[in-house]
A and B are shown apart, each in its own frame.
Chain A
Amino acid sequence: RKEVEQDPGPFNVPEGATVAFNCTYSNSASQSFFWYRQDCRKEPKLLMSVYSSGNEDGRFTAQLNRASQYISLLIRDSKLSDSATYLCVVNRGGYQKVTFGIGTKLQVIP
Chain B
Amino acid sequence: EAQVTQNPRYLITVTGKKLTVTCSQNMNHEYMSWYRQDPGLGLRQIYYSMNVEVTDKGDVPEGYKVSRKEKRNFPLILESPSPNQTSLYFCASSAGVSTEAFFGQGTRLTVV
Interface residues of A (CB under 8 A from B): 8, 31-32, 34, 36, 41-46, 49, 87, 89, 91, 96-103
Contact = CB atoms under 8 A, between A and B. Distances in A.
A87 B101 CA distance: 13
A32 B43 CA distance: 17
Nearest to B50: A96
9 contacts: A31-B98, A32-B97, A43-B103, A46-B101, A87-B43, A91-B98, A96-B50, A100-B42, A101-B42
Contacts, number: 55
Interface stretch (B20-28, B33-41, B65-73, B78-86): B33-41
Contacts of B56: 96
Interface residues of B, number: 24
A102 B45 contact: no
A42 B33 contact: no
B108 to A, nearest CB: 8
Contact of A102 (B42, B97, B98, B104): B42
B104 A98 contact: no
